[in-house]
Amino acid sequence: TGKPDWTAETLAPGRDLRVAVIGGGLAGIAAAYRLSQAGLDFTVYEKNPEIGGVWWNNTYPGCRLDTPNFAYSFSFAQKPDWPQQFSERSEVFGYAKRVAEDAGLRSNFTFSTEVESMRWDEAKGGWWLHTRGPEGEKIEFAHVVIPAVGHLNRPNIPEIPGQNEFRGRAVHSAEWPSDLDLTGKRVAVIGTGASGFQIVPAIADQVSALTVFQRNPAWMLSTPNYQDDIKPGMHWLLTHVPYYGRWFRFWQFWIAAEGRFPAITVDPEWKHPISVSELNEKLRLGCIENLTAQVGDRKDLLEKLTPAYPPGAKRMVRDNGAYVNTLKKPHVSLVSEKIVRLTPQGIVTADGAHHDVDVIVYATGFLAADYLDPIRIEGRGERVLHDFWSGDCRAYLGIAVPSFPNLFIIGGPNSGLVVNGSAIFTSECALEYVLRSIEYMLENDVKSAEVRQESYDAFNEDVDHHNQLRAWGTTKVNTWYQGRSGRPTVTWPHPILEYYKRTSVFDDADYTLSSRG
């Protein structure tokens, strides 16, 4: 992806084309960067009081990247001096903030402002946005809207009987209170995905007792060096050798991440109760070997921590050994019994045990299935996006939806590299496509562009078919990348390069276009 070789003024002098971006996380910052390079008039609406999205929200102890930094950073703002391969939250947040500030983009952001609803206006060829911010409700107009809200922005707190009776403090991982002091407390962590996995070792030494409630274990991807400094000499190479950073990024995408792709691909001839192919089995056995070495004589842990689904069926966690070491500590216990209810003093599990706790940490993930909720989006013919999707979000290239003209999503449905890549990369690819769409609209005096149903259907058929050929498509296991029907709604099922290729061309044959004249 790169700087647009056009500006709004050169293509359509004097044309009023306003763009609204929803979300000021990393995808929103990338959008702001490119829109500003193209000289477009735009506003980014951000519900938080600060830039950064998930990196602003998530301040829980131990929060860090689980995708290598050089891949998880903007192509246009490469940073040669990441202190670690998998940086801590403050480092990533600081980077995002600096990129926006150095490019002078802050003034384009409207903070603490939520877009509550949007309605398409056929006559004007654009969207009315109802926003709520510090100055109350406002109605604003944009010709093009770019939602960049991500999938993981609304905490999921499961309903558990007796929840309101619990007298201690209960917090969600993504809403960590700055005044929460866990010193000497008995703490429960519910959930063992990426967040729980990072929180457990980070708080263990502070608390008097730690009980980890696991429903399904996550496969652990051995990453022994994620807390170490980057290898000696690396900073020098990145700073002094021309294009070394680009080469290194390429290596991380196409060799390290893409290299994992065959191991998550289903072999229809392969018959095994858990794994989906020979390479997947190799990966599974490698993970088990690593786990076996870590648990030592704690065979009870080996049994509890070994997943009964293939690796890659849901996101694997980055493991530097700290999690299992923590579980082995005398004041830490791992409970795999089902939680049945809460009491004023703690948690009751299916075996009848009562676990007394002072604090419950819900590391229970996000409401990802209702993508773009709670924004009510009413398109052409009064079609409402969430009714149209019914919990199964879809979009052509993850970007465009029939009946919703001039609405271009980045980081949208089925564009995510959740097992083998970086969300920033696919967001930048989608953004490149959106910029090409706007370029086309300006060049051809287009008022509205609505993706054709046939292109949308063909795209969805293709992703649905190919998702079934991946470990996450064939396995019935809970993940945040399924819609309500169990259909994978987040994952891009092809190699990384394929998304880059498909988003590098805007084909007007995919759209119904109306002109301004």
Binding positions for ligand N01, rule: CB under 6 A: 64-66, 152, 158, 173, 190-196, 198, 215-216, 315, 339, 363-365, 478, 480
Q: Which amino acid is at 127?
A: W
Which lies closer to ligand N01 via its Cβ, residue 51 or residue 435? 51
> Shortest gap between Cβ of 68 and ligand N01 (angstroms)?
11
Please identify, using beta-carbon distances, which residue of 169 and 341 lies nearer to ligand N01.
Answer: 341
Q: How far is the CB of 476 from ligand N01 (least distance, A)?
A: 12
- Write down the least CB distance from residue 156 to ligand N01, Å: 6
CB of 407 to ligand N01, least distance (A): 25
- Shortest distance in whole angstroms from residue 172 CB to ligand N01: 9
CA atoms of 136 and 77, how far apart (whole Å): 35
- For ligand N01, the closer of residues 214 and 275 by Cβ is 214
Closest CA to 513 of 423, 443, 460, 427: 443
Identity of residue 125: G
Q: Cβ 319 to ligand N01, closest distance in Å?
A: 12
Angle between helices 26-37 and 423-443 (to 10 degrees): 30
Nearer to ligand N01, 99 or 144 (CB): 99
Indicate the helix (H) or strand (E) that contains 18.
strand 18-22
Among 339, 51, 357, CA closest to 192: 339
Q: Which is nearer to ligand N01, 10 or 225 (CB)?
A: 225
Which residues have a Cβ under 8 Å from the Cβ of 64 and sit 6 or more positions away?
86, 87, 88, 89, 92, 198, 226
Measure the N-to-C terminal CA separation of the chain; round to a whole number of Å: 32
Q: Judge contact between 385 and 118, C-beta under 8 A.
A: no
| Residue 25 Cβ vs ligand N01, minimum distance, rounded to whole Å | 12
Of the pair 174, 385, the CB lying nearest ligand N01 is at 174
Nearer to ligand N01, 315 or 447 (CB): 315
- Please identify, using beta-carbon distances, which residue of 319 and 439 lies nearer to ligand N01: 319
Tokens representing residue 422 in the block: 């970086």
**Which residues partner with 491 through β-bridges?**
416
Q: Is 201 exposed, middle or buried (0-12, 13-18, 19+ CB in 10 A)?
A: buried
**Peptide bond connecting 374 to the previous residue in cis, omega within 30 degrees of 0:** yes
Are 340 and 163 spatial neighbours (Cβ–Cβ below 8 Å)?
no
| In the complex, least distance from residue 66 CB atom to ligand N01, rounded to whole angstroms | 4
Closest approach of ligand N01 to the CB of residue 128, in Å: 33
φ, ψ for residue 95 (rounded to 5)? Answer: -60, -50
- Answer for the pair 396, 453: CB distance below 8 angstroms, yes or no: no
412: closest CA among 70, 192, 150, 226?
150
Please, are residues 339 and 213 in contact by the beta-carbon 8 Å criterion? Answer: yes
Distance separating alpha carbons of residues 513 and 490, to the nearest angstrom: 28
Q: Which is nearer to ligand N01, 64 or 284 (CB)?
A: 64
Instruction: Quickly list H helices, 103-211.
Output: 194-203
Q: Look up residue 211 and give its two tokens.
A: 């009980």
Least distance in Å: CB of 84 to ligand N01? 12
Is the CB of residue 216 less than 8 Å from the CB of residue 307? yes
Closer CB to ligand N01, 151 or 494, in the complex: 151
Residue among 125 and 416 whose Cβ is closer to ligand N01:
416
At closest approach, how far in Å is the CB of 61 from ligand N01?
A: 12
